[in-house]
Chains A and B, each alone.
Chain A
Amino acid sequence: MTEFWQSVARGLGNGSIYALLALGFVIIYKSTRVVSFAQPAFMLAGAVLVTYLAAEVNFFLALVLSALAVALLALGVERVTVRPMVGKPVFVVAIITLGLDIVIRVIVNGFIGLDVRQVGDPWGLQTVNLLGVPVQQRYLAMLLTTALMVAALFAFFRYTRFGLAMRAAAFDQETALAQGVPVGAVFATSWAMAGGLAAVAGVLVGSGASVDQNLWIIALKALPAIILGGLDSLGGAVAGGLAVGLVESLVGTYQADLAPWLGQNFAVVSPYVLMLLVLLMKPYGLFGTPEVERV
């Protein structure tokens, strides 16, 4: 049973990282109707920045600084490459973000080089006893950080004036513009928020492990998460992220015994299988809004 609970803890920990990344995707999607494939690059950038900053300052300060810096980077990127494309087909913008991802990642990889870097987190691989189950501290840290950020985000969207403006712009851009909502600022903010979230997620991925050039692959697991939850649902993103993390971890623990014919690293691709299965039944994910077409 200990094995099961450990697996669940790992799943929820990793799942909360996917949830953070998925939130970034969903925030951008809601405000601009575009899936930004640049999230993996922002995640990598955040993690790498912390590996450099952590040598100078406290880990937590480094985390905040790097999130801010990557948010600023995302803001600039949006202004230069995505803003000129407002009104163009979303596919085109999505492919632009794919190009951005490649460019930013290669530049960031230049700062990693061939060695692996450490984010300098305080918990490492230490465990803590939780109701008789030894659980790695980093998974608790991931879950806690995510819970805090999700609470802050939901409060922001629910109670602040700009949060309301963002919701209005997501609902109907033109009407929001006519009511005086600065839609351009909404676009910029959503990109900055997504960048910051991705940076935090990147640091969490690197905690207890290390940062290398292949870290970005993890960010793509947020894609099954957002499809599961529905592209335009913030709650769905969190639920989808946790679900993807859990499935991946449980498959990783038990698949080798139950279904060895699926191959060694099946856990890595299991989120995509889950995504396909859900989509066959619910084409707009579990919590997504079905598109209603007016003819």
Chain B
Amino acid sequence: MTALLERGGRRGRRPRGRPLLHTSYKQDMALLDTPGKRRWLSALLVIAVLAPFMLTDDILQLLAVGFVASIGAIGLNIVTGYAGQISLGHAFFLAIGAYTAAAVSGDPDGKVIGFGVTSILVWLPLAGLAAALAGVIVAPLATRLRGLYLAIVTLGLVFLGEHIFKEWDSLTGGPGVGRPSAVPELFGIRLDEAGAYSKEQKLYLLMLVMLVLFAVLARNLMRSRVGRAFAAVRDRDIAAAIIGVDLRRYKLLAFAISSFYAGVAGALMYTVAGYFDPGSFNLLLSVQFIAMILIGGVATVSGSIMGAMFITLLPRITRELPGVLPFISSESKDTPNVFQVETVLYGLLIIIFLILEPRGLFGIWTRIRNYWKAWPFSY
């Protein structure tokens, strides 16, 4: 081992022909630590960038929403997966981000509050910061409460938030009415209006860039001192406190970062649809995000993305069901209909994944990868 380290040296040059052999700490902690990851990720990125010029607009729109949901799911995974603080209040933080962004960029002469600053470079950070501030206010509860007590309190937060947003109709437009979402404008170009490229193509690329940015940020943060502190708090908070992790500080930080992600996701999420209603920030939205990280994989960034894409694409898949299974109706007044099947699938998938594959889609992926890595040997 020492010989290897010496040969590899500080800079950690790999011996020729042994791409998987790590000879320095830096190599061990690298984001893309194997040639396989480097190759596949670059391929995936190239496909993702070329996709808007090959796919139809409705699929692009769906993918764009999936990317935004991924940002939100990464945020929830930071507080729940990495730092172990169960939060059912994600919908509340999404709402704060969405309303901050919509208010900052809204039409000053409109029916609802608006300040007319349409640049995405202004409202996106503001939305994140506003949500992070709300997270900081909630965090002291997390330092006093543990486990399921915290889960129930954050659930209460969703109900309080829903009430506030429904009543504050000068900001939100009120239930059943809603308000226009944030106006995405970058360097003077409106991204939600068709120009040289269609609206969907532009929004898709925006969301893709945002997702890559926030995913890399999260991965980097989680392999730093902060990430290790989060993991220590999750695994045993008392032990963490004894070895010198300041529980109050790191729980606060976890909630703040997670809420920042949620705020950004909330701000972007409705720019695709263009309109949103205060009733949409309910318990079901929180549960959907919980489902994303559980189905995708707890405490993994790529898992959050897989889970979010899966949950976002699920309605699209179930909508095809009536063609295959004729007893399922596509009319909402019949039983069973696709909407019911879709909701039941959320529930069933959560149950099945938790019982049979607790590591989620990420776990399935690791098993497939390890199988082919050793192929044709079993290990």
Contact = CB atoms under 8 A, between A and B. Distances in A.
Contacts of A114: 333
Interface residues of A, number: 48
B153 A95 contact: no
Chain B, interface residues (CB within 8 Å), range: 35 or more
Nearest to B348: A103
B29 interface: no
A263 B167 contact: yes
B27 interface: no
Contacts of A103: 344, 347-348, 351
Interface stretch (B14-22, B37-45, B53-61, B140-148): B140-148
Interface stretch (B63-71, B156-164, B312-320): B156-164
Given A100-B347, A291-B146, A295-B242, A85 B152 contact: no
A90 B343 CA distance: 24
A78 B135 CA distance: 35
A107 interface: yes
A223 B156 contact: yes
Contacts of B166: 263, 265
A101 B347 contact: yes
B152 A98 contact: no
B206 interface: no
A83 B288 CA distance: 24
A35 B344 contact: no
Contact of A102 (B147, B347, B354): B347
A94 B151 contact: yes
Contact of B144 (A224, A275, A279): A279
B346 interface: yes
Nearest to A291: B146
Contacts of B239: 295
B152 A223 contact: yes
A4 interface: no
B314 to A, nearest CB: 13
A100 B346 CA distance: 10
Interface in B234-264: 238-239, 242
Interface of B: 86, 141, 144-149, 151-153, 155-157, 159-160, 162-164, 166-167, 238-239, 242, 283, 287, 290-291, 294, 333, 335-336, 340, 343-344, 346-351, 354-355, 358
18 contacts: A81-B355, A91-B86, A95-B290, A96-B354, A98-B347, A99-B291, A99-B351, A100-B347, A102-B287, A106-B340, A110-B336, A227-B153, A265-B167, A269-B159, A269-B160, A269-B163, A272-B156, A279-B141
